[in-house]
Amino acid sequence: MFTSSRRFRQWCGMLLLLLNGGYSLVEQGQLNDALAVFQLNVLLYPASANTYDSLAETYAALGNRKLATQHYTHALALNPKNRAAAEYLQQ
């Protein structure tokens, strides 16, 4: 997937930039904008459990339990040690 460590660092950097940007929007109460950022992050980084976790968290904050559950389930499948996803799904 990566031809160099530089490309890997760029990949990680963009992933984190989008995550941080999305959470900044969440903190400002702009949940729909945050949702759009997290949806983009999932499209760009579908192998990252963290992207699905962030998307699920935002759906939960918006009151959409169905989509929150769907994305937490996917996050947990990618990372079985994801405590936030496991705790949400046990509710």
Domains along the sequence of the chain with CATH? 5-90 (1.25.40.10)
Contact 44, 28 (CB under 8 A): no
From the number of C-beta atoms within 10 Å of its C-beta (0-12, 13-18, 19+), residue 43 rates as exposed
Q: What's the CA dihedral at 15, 19, 20, 24 to 10 degrees?
A: 150
| Per-residue pLDDT at 68 exceeds 60 | yes
Tokens of 9: 């660092």
Query: Looking at residue 9, what is its pLDDT?
Result: 64
Q: Which of 54, 60, 55, 52 is nearest to 76 (CA)?
A: 52
Query: Looking at 6-20, 52-66, 71-85, which range is the least confident one?
Result: 6-20
pLDDT tens digits for range 14-32: 788 899 999 999 999 999 9
Indicate the pTM of the whole model. 0.86
